[in-house]
Structure 1
Amino acid sequence: MAIAANRTELLQIADAVARDKSIDKQVVLAAMEEAMQRAAKARYGAENEIKVEIDPKTGETHVSRYLHVVEQVENDKTEISLAEAQGRNPSAMIGDIIAETLPPVEFTRIAAQGAKQVIVQNVREAERARQHEEYKDRIGEIIHGIVKRSEFGSVVVDLGRAEGVVRRDEMIPRENFRTGDRIRAYIYDVRKEARGPQIFLSRSHPQFMVRLFAQEVPEIYDGIIEIRAVARDPGSRAKIAVISKDSSIDPVGACVGMRGVRVQAVVQELQGERIDIIPWSNEPATFIVNALAPAEVSKVVLDEDAHRVEVVVPDEQLSLAIGRRGQNVRLASQLTGWQIDILTEAEESERRQKEFATRTNLFMEALDVDETVAQLLASEGFAEIEDVAYVDLNELASVEGFDEETAQELQTRAVEHIEARNKEMDDKRRELGVEDAVLEVEGVTTAMAASLGEHEIKTLEDLAGCATDDLLGYSETSKGADGKTERVRVPGALEGFDLTPDDANAIIMKARVKAGWIEAEELEEAAEEGEDAPADGEDVSEGEA
């Protein structure tokens, strides 16, 4: 039995499918042409070159077989002799293509089923391409949709012309949606996958809250107020840092709104999530103090090299500064980008007393001075013997109770102590078999060389082959004797020398240059371009090990 559709029906079907799938009508017609082409090849032979064209205005179908004009025919399915071709078209030449019209194809039920599959597949691919093109440029937007179904905790959302998915880890905790519920979410990624474009939505993403504020606060939408940083514990608490480009507008007040109406609108959408709005500051110390609100801060000590900050708070403010389960300090750390250590005033005082006593004992032993002189040095901020040895003599002489002669004697003793210590370390280094070439690497001291030797790093090649973790140490997870998982610290060869990862990496790279593994110019070019030249194995940091 044959199945056919007249011209009008063909165009009506193409129009209906194009409207239903929101794709171009020409794409549907092209899918129909391909389906008819397959059916024609099945009828006339797969080796034939057959093309089907559907007139988009009239719906008329043209089936043609293409024959190549050749001097000698080897395959009569695809080739035609020059003499025969000129009989059809006197101007035909070798290399031309002659189109031979074939009768319209009538579909059997099996051919119709195959044609349907071809059309459905092509239309589906066109629909996926349209969805990807439409949504790939909408990453960063908030979108509205209707919950279509739930799958293993994730929610599939009908967006009208596409479907999006909110995975379980992108939902706000304890939040439940039922089929038919309206939902607002943030588009954070659109990917092409084998099953079609995937539109990933989130309600826990920090930028979701930013976009909600932009909808509620006209000053943010207009760019007068800018949200510089966001930290969220979804469904529980969040902190945002805001700054105003107009000095006459209070950024915090504008975000809160009259009687808190603006911030409450965002809080309701985020299922009651508490939001702390704080003023952003260029000064790290000020910004960190603001970020720890509502706790009061007594003192801030910054370590810019380690990007770490020590915050001192009154004893009664400790729990408020840390927050429930460390939430307040954790969010403040995320917001500012600084690692924050909280101390009470009593703890800081105790620690300072211990440091003072340690320094006093160090100076007493190394410089052979009495306790009073050692305490004077410690109280003036001298922390190491090198501080005394290499400080300007006038600065040392200006310490209350010291004169120039005393200062000179202290410096002489400090230098002698350092030289004696270095000689001791150098002797130890030689005993351990550490090459002189290791000591010639910029940044490596005699004490470091001795420590490297203790960790079996004795040649220039040994040092050049190290990873940053080999020098600084790392933590790894292992199972103890009781079967419980625990974190174990693996010490590094230079762990006690107060080196940053950048310092350790620089030593390794300079060792590689000295060993001839890389050229010095390559290292300089990388430094000029602001690129890191990581040592082998450095991609796993302590926090990720």
Structure 2
Amino acid sequence: MNKEILSIVESIENKKLLSREEIFKILEFALSIATKKKYPYDIDVRISINRQNGDFHTFRRWLIVLYVTKPTREITLEAAQFENRYVRINDYIEDQIDSVMLNRFTTQIIKQEIIKKIREIEMKKILDNIYHYPNQIVTGIVTSIKKKYIILNLNDHIEVMMQDKDMIPKEHLKLGDRIKGILYHEHIPKKGIQLFISRSKPEILFELFKIEIPEVKEKVVQIKAVARHTGFRSKVAVISYDHCIDPIGACIGIRGTRIQAISKEIFDERIDIILWNNNPAQFVINAMAPANVIDIIVHEDSYTMDILVDTSYLSQAIGRHGQNVRLASKLSGWKLNILTVEEFKKKNTIKMRKIYNLFFKCLQLQKYIINILIKEGFSSLEELFYISDNVLLKIQDININIVLWIRKKLKKIFFNSLN
């Protein structure tokens, strides 16, 4: 019997999944389950295995309580002290009983409990790891393919699920395929904690860059932002504060080997490497690559930018199904409007005409004065209302009489609106 116990311990220990002491504790628990199945009523059992020779002894035990509610598992303090006067509430008293024989039936129970316990221990280790190191990348083997999800095996004991939303569109996986993904967990009602793997999260790019690009792992090159249209195209903004390092070249690799390895891992997704810049306008120009930007107009109040491109670059700037401009917008955090030079001129002419008509109608100024104000950047009555007289007087051809006229008209407009 002791040889069988030790052989079970050694076979599990060789897989390096658990420590020797953990294995002995699991075996003691499994043997207690097998022992309980011999009895028609509920009892409490403790197993003690000798760590050196594998011999084990079985004890039936009773919890000492004030009032007995489970006669097969509990005993009163008064009754327990007949056997041992030193025991207290919540202690146990024990009697040694016959141990189970390691036949086919008990061995099967032991195996089931060992697998169950190992799965619980490994799940706890994985969840602890996710808590301390979120967005870690793992490799799984496809074991089952369903209509809306796929089951993968991380090792011999842990299964994870990949849901529809976590898959790469148009990627057709087969049984036995080895794939990488970001491991995460969710609490499912009535099922508890469930492990999932995602290939659609942008975080997978961060982790793949760390694997394939030593400069990223060593933080010589930093990833500042990622925008992704899963399965089609991504943009990754990078920077290096070491002037000897070319961050884009480091990410692409010799003849594109590094970026191709990452792309291959995520179903040949196209990846654009963008140079990060603290200046939003310059960063957007970089993010619009490969399109050639002629000019850029920033509207900070609405957090938008008008991107001017030549007509010949329009389709490239927008990208297939709007991918390029949408990803550049997502990467920068700004709303981007793509315009040709002709469209911008037309849009600007319409805008200037609206401002001119507004100033003419409300302020009743001469044409040349309105044009001066527009040229100085004034585009609303509010801007003129809140600007100081001294600032207006510094503008060429604007004198005190014009300023007083503007003030008179603006006060009438705004005070009437209040009343």
TM-score norm. by structure 1 comes to 0.64
Which residue does the alignment assign to 2:167? 171
Q: Map 1:336-347 to 2 at 5 A.
A: 336-347=332-343
Return the offset for 1:125: 4.3
Q: Map 1:385-464 to 2 at 5 A.
A: 385-423=381-419
State whether structure 2 residue 149 is matched by structure 1 residue 154.
yes
Which residue does the alignment assign to 2:28? 30
Letter in 1 for 2:142: V
In 2, the alpha carbon distance for the partners of 1:80 and 1:388 equals 91
In 2, the alpha carbon distance for the partners of 1:238 and 1:218 equals 20
Letter in 2 for 1:299: D
1:69 touches 1:81 (CA, 8 Å); kept in 2? no
Q: Secondary structure at the match of 2:145?
A: strand
Q: Secondary structure at the match of 1:249?
A: coil
Which residue does the alignment assign to 1:534? none
1:34 touches 1:118 (CA, 8 Å); kept in 2? no
Distance 1:40 1:81, change over 3 A: farther
State whether structure 2 residue 375 is matched by structure 1 residue 375.
no
Distance 1:133 1:419, change over 3 A: same
Which residue does the alignment assign to 2:75? 78
Return the offset for 1:144: 3.1
2:36 touches 2:45 (CA, 8 Å); kept in 1? no
> What residue ranges of structure 1 are gaps of 5+ in the alignment?
1-5, 424-545
Q: Secondary structure at the match of 1:295?
A: coil
In 2, the alpha carbon distance for the partners of 1:396 and 1:84 equals 100
Return the offset for 1:418: 2.1
Distance 1:416 1:145, change over 3 A: closer
Distance 1:103 1:94, change over 3 A: closer
Return the offset for 1:274: 2.0
Which residue does the alignment assign to 2:95? 101
In 2, the alpha carbon distance for the partners of 1:341 and 1:202 equals 32
Which residue does the alignment assign to 2:120? 128
Distance 1:383 1:170, change over 3 A: same
1:231 touches 1:334 (CA, 8 Å); kept in 2? yes
Which residue does the alignment assign to 1:530? none
Which residue does the alignment assign to 1:271? 267
Return the offset for 1:178: 2.0
In 2, the alpha carbon distance for the partners of 1:265 and 1:94 equals 67
Letter in 2 for 1:134: I
In 2, the alpha carbon distance for the partners of 1:260 and 1:10 equals 55
Distance 1:296 1:28, change over 3 A: same
> What residue ranges of structure 2 are gaps of 5+ in the alignment?
none
**2:331 equivalent among 335, 344, 360:** 335
Q: Secondary structure at the match of 2:181?
A: strand
In 2, the alpha carbon distance for the partners of 1:202 and 1:400 equals 63
Letter in 1 for 2:408: T
Distance 1:18 1:253, change over 3 A: closer
Q: Secondary structure at the match of 2:244?
A: coil
Q: CA-to-partner distance for each residue in 1:388-435, whole Å, 9 max, x for gaps?
A: 333222332343433222222222222223223322xxxxxxxxxxxx
Q: Secondary structure at the match of 2:234?
A: strand
Which residue does the alignment assign to 1:55? 49
Distance 1:116 1:421, change over 3 A: same
Distance 1:95 1:242, change over 3 A: closer
Q: Secondary structure at the match of 1:298?
A: strand
Letter in 1 for 2:30: M
Return the offset for 1:37: 5.5
Return the offset for 1:175: 1.9
Q: Secondary structure at the match of 1:176?
A: coil
2:180 touches 2:265 (CA, 8 Å); kept in 1? no
Letter in 2 for 1:35: I
In 1, the alpha carbon distance for the partners of 2:135 and 2:402 equals 67
Q: Secondary structure at the match of 1:164?
A: strand
Distance 1:65 1:22, change over 3 A: same
Which residue does the alignment assign to 1:317? 313
Return the offset for 1:321: 1.1
Distance 1:261 1:133, change over 3 A: same
Q: Secondary structure at the match of 2:346?
A: helix
Distance 1:257 1:63, change over 3 A: closer
Return the offset for 1:368: 2.7
In 1, the alpha carbon distance for the partners of 2:15 and 2:256 equals 45
Return the offset for 1:229: 1.1
1:146 touches 1:158 (CA, 8 Å); kept in 2? yes
Return the offset for 1:10: 4.6
Q: Map 1:527-542 to 2 at 5 A.
A: none
Distance 1:320 1:69, change over 3 A: closer
Q: Secondary structure at the match of 2:293?
A: coil
Distance 1:123 1:21, change over 3 A: farther
Which residue does the alignment assign to 1:137? 129
1:301 touches 1:309 (CA, 8 Å); kept in 2? yes
In 2, the alpha carbon distance for the partners of 1:297 and 1:195 equals 53
Return the offset for 1:189: 0.5
- After superposing the two structures, state which structure 1 stretch, 371-380 or 188-197, moved more: 188-197
TM-score norm. by structure 2 comes to 0.82
Letter in 2 for 1:207: E
State the structure with bigger RCO (CA 8 A, min sep 6), 1 or 2: 2
Letter in 2 for 1:221: K
Number of equivalenced pairs: 403
Q: Percent identity?
A: 29
Letter in 2 for 1:146: I
Distance 1:268 1:10, change over 3 A: closer
Which residue does the alignment assign to 2:183? 188
Q: Secondary structure at the match of 1:240?
A: strand
